[in-house]
């Protein structure tokens, strides 16, 4: 591997403020702020808008589409026009 061309990987704290979730992982992401974490060390912090703690796919709060209700509404709305055309 050539030296000096790869970004430096270091522990970075990713913080989801909406969910109160923090995750410490190795990353090359640039951070402007630092924060003291649970282990007593200070790490660079990157604030993210969505994480696995707040995303609907992972939390199970995604809305369910009512396809049966939509089909029934469509049939009720256009039933009179399809019968008259026959």
Q: Give tens-digit pLDDT for 4-31.
A: 888 889 999 999 888 888 999 999 998 8
13-27 burial code (b ≥16 CB/10 A, e <16): bbbbeeeeebeeeeb
- pLDDT by residue (tens digit) across 49-78? 888 777 666 666 655 566 667 778 888 888
Work out the mean pLDDT of the chain and round it to a whole number: 81
Distance CA 44, CA 30 (A): 8
- pLDDT by residue (tens digit) across 39-52? 999 999 999 888 87
Q: What pairing do the DSSP bridges indicate for beta strands 10-16 and 42-48?
A: parallel
């Amino acid at each position: 591997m050539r030296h000096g061309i790869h970004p430096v990987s270091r522990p970075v704290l990713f913080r989801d403020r909406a969910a109160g979730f923090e995750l410490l992982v190795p990353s090359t992401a640039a951070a402007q702020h630092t924060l003291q974490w649970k282990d007593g060390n200070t790490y660079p912090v990157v604030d993210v808008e969505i994480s696995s703690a707040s995303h609907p796919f992972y939390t199970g709060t995604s809305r369910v589409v009512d396809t049966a209700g939509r089909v029934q509404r469509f049939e009720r709305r256009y039933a009179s026009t399809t019968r008259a055309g026959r």
